Chains A and B, each alone.
Chain A
């Protein structure tokens, strides 16, 4: 007997499936807490793990006076029309505080669901205190019945000393939905920030450039994106790491496939402290005429930084396809096998359950190849 989480009941079977494809478990099994926002209404917030507190951001700001220093701190309120729009609303979205030394084995899940043709706003604050380890999966989903709509989301992440935050965001939007996230992370000494983003479904437009500032010694940031752009989708994506402290390092990885859509895949690492390292891997496959514009940027500002990148865009090499055909696979089977391999990103430091969720989201799109 599955124990449905309040707020999730009453979803149509189509929408329930879309949530599950975005990594959201409709029962509380294997999750240590859930947050569910439909349009601008917060339907559910729960967290069973003692060391972690999750609450709606509006409530959190009332409860903790100190939180105002974390609100509009990493993201500039006046950055653009979208941040200004969000700032003008009552804050929606969630705040998570992982207390010192806490560690969740089962991830928290947060679901941002759009059910009507409107603008959804969120402002999330995620804090991992010293030594805490926090794993979060966020499903961003629009109902199959939504015609057009927009989602503007602010996320500010604070990774404390020796702490780790992993966020895995899976998008399942619609053909006429516009999505504009604005997020920024700060990583302190020996902290690790893992940011994973998967988008395999149609969307009208996504524009984002999340950033991590590595302000503590030996801090680590790893961004991974797996993107499929169907015809009509336009994704302008970036990921940036600023290596501000000695010994900090970053890896930015993206695997992009277009089936007629447009993807701008930006990555930028700035090395501005001693003994910093950074690497960008940016690979694109064009399966049907569309655009993949890869822009890897590496910017070193002193001698003792080491930055590199590799980028490729094009079709699958014929010799790879024929290699598998010589083993008896048809051309279609060989192509599908190579594509699945291309998208097979294994994220170091991610719990097995979240890796499986990522794999499942990619597998779910596989029939489209």
Chain B
């Protein structure tokens, strides 16, 4: 599905990602961990193709195509999706109106999803204006459900969300990556940034990657990596790099 090779990314003239390699096969969901400021959000946004993330070296291949220089919306149309950690507020633009534009003539489905995400009463609200943490995540998941990407990237889906909403969001994300299907038939993949691993209660991840100072330091069983972080913090990973 996704193949990132030796990726170097600059933000505002400063290199933040230093040669990352990452491969996510079809049907697999991976998690990305790492301390604050290690470059997780930058990596996701570079893969998606935002304008102020300049790839200075390396290549991003998506579904067999080199997308390194492709504009953002083309990558979205090829099947990439991103759940924003802090989406901008767009005053005047109603959430419902955006879903209508996205679903281009088939808004019935959008209303079904809105019901599922308990977002019906938000369809007439300005996009993200005064949404709470949980409401922002529900709105993001709802937009992704309408978009139906083949590869979905989620930036801290559980941060700022209360327990009740975690259940709702966790289950919806599991659906987005087709966890109900057997791996052999599963066509969708995911990459999830998480600190807590709460999300893993709703969907199993296949592999975990540890990002530290813009480099991937280790791969492994996501639960094991999380266990180490929970017990000893990120210190060990940081030290591991020094050795």
Q: Tell whether B48 is near chain A: CB-to-CB under 8 Å.
A: yes
Q: A327-B147, A338-B93, A341-B94 are in contact. Are A320 and B88 (CB under 8 A)?
A: yes
Beta-carbon contact of B147 and A341 below 8 Å:
no
B150: min CB distance to chain A, Å:
12
- Which one of A255, A318, A329, A341 contacts B97 once the chains associate, using CB atoms below 8 Å? A341
Q: Tell whether B116 is near chain A: CB-to-CB under 8 Å.
A: no
Of B77, B82, B90, chain A has the most CB atoms within 10 Å of the CB of B90
A58: min CB distance to chain B, Å:
43
The 0/1 profile, CB within 8 Å of A marked 1, for residues 166-183 of chain B is 000000000000000000
| Closest A-B pairs by Cβ, 5 of them | A341-B93, A341-B92, A328-B76, A325-B73, A325-B72
Q: Tell whether A326 is near chain B: CB-to-CB under 8 Å.
A: yes
Q: Tell whether B130 is near chain A: CB-to-CB under 8 Å.
A: no
We find that the number of chain A residues with CB closer than 8 angstroms to chain B is 26
- Which one of A322, A325, A329, A341 contacts B91 once the chains associate, using CB atoms below 8 Å? A341
Q: A322-B72, A326-B48, A341-B92 are in contact. List 10 more A-B contacts (CB 8 A).
A: A324-B90, A325-B76, A326-B73, A326-B76, A326-B84, A327-B147, A328-B73, A337-B98, A341-B90, A342-B92
Instruction: Pick 28 A–B contacts, CB within 8 A, sort by A.
Output: A255-B92, A317-B88, A318-B51, A319-B88, A322-B50, A323-B84, A323-B88, A323-B90, A325-B72, A325-B76, A326-B72, A326-B73, A326-B76, A326-B82, A326-B84, A327-B98, A329-B73, A329-B102, A330-B73, A331-B71, A338-B92, A338-B93, A340-B92, A340-B93, A341-B90, A341-B92, A344-B92, A344-B94
Residues of A within 8 A of B101 (CB): 329, 333, 337
State the CA gap A325–B90 with chains docked (Å).
Answer: 13
Residues of A within 8 A of B91 (CB): 283, 341-342
State the CA gap A342–B93 with chains docked (Å).
Answer: 7
Main secondary structure of the interface of A (DSSP, over half): helix
Identity of the chain B residue whose Cβ is nearest the Cβ of A317 in the assembled complex = B88
Beta-carbon contact of B76 and A323 below 8 Å:
no
State the CA gap A340–B98 with chains docked (Å).
Answer: 11
Q: Tell whether A273 is near chain B: CB-to-CB under 8 Å.
A: no
State the CA gap A319–B48 with chains docked (Å).
Answer: 13
Q: Tell whether A270 is near chain B: CB-to-CB under 8 Å.
A: no
Beta-carbon contact of B102 and A328 below 8 Å:
yes
Of A255, A283, A327, A341, chain B has the most CB atoms within 10 Å of the CB of A327
Q: Tell whether B143 is near chain A: CB-to-CB under 8 Å.
A: yes
Q: A327-B143, A341-B97 are in contact. Are A320 and B76 (CB under 8 A)?
A: no
Q: A341-B93, A343-B92 are in contact. Are A322 and B98 (CB under 8 A)?
A: no
Interface of A with B (CB < 8 Å)? Answer: 255, 283, 317-320, 322-331, 333-334, 337-338, 340-345
A115: min CB distance to chain B, Å:
36
Identity of the chain B residue whose Cβ is nearest the Cβ of A334 in the assembled complex = B73
Residues of B within 8 A of A323 (CB): 84, 87-88, 90
We find that the number of chain B residues with CB closer than 8 angstroms to chain A is 26
Interface of B with A (CB < 8 Å)? Answer: 48, 50-51, 71-73, 76-77, 81-82, 84, 87-88, 90-94, 97-98, 101-102, 126-127, 143, 147
Identity of the chain A residue whose Cβ is nearest the Cβ of B89 in the assembled complex = A320
B26: min CB distance to chain A, Å:
21
Identity of the chain B residue whose Cβ is nearest the Cβ of A318 in the assembled complex = B51
Beta-carbon contact of A328 and B88 below 8 Å:
no
State the CA gap A236–B84 with chains docked (Å).
Answer: 41
Residues of B within 8 A of A333 (CB): 101
Residues of B within 8 A of A328 (CB): 73, 76-77, 102, 147
B103: min CB distance to chain A, Å:
10
Residues of B within 8 A of A325 (CB): 71-73, 76
B100: min CB distance to chain A, Å:
10
Identity of the chain A residue whose Cβ is nearest the Cβ of B73 in the assembled complex = A325
State the CA gap A337–B126 with chains docked (Å).
Answer: 13
State the CA gap A343–B91 with chains docked (Å).
Answer: 10
Of B48, B71, B72, chain A has the most CB atoms within 10 Å of the CB of B72
State the CA gap A218–B127 with chains docked (Å).
Answer: 32
Residues of B within 8 A of A320 (CB): 88, 90
Of B87, B91, B143, chain A has the most CB atoms within 10 Å of the CB of B91
State the CA gap A194–B127 with chains docked (Å).
Answer: 26
B219: min CB distance to chain A, Å:
27
Residues of A within 8 A of B73 (CB): 325-326, 328-331, 334
Beta-carbon contact of B51 and A322 below 8 Å:
yes
State the CA gap A319–B73 with chains docked (Å).
Answer: 13
Residues of A within 8 A of B97 (CB): 337, 340-341
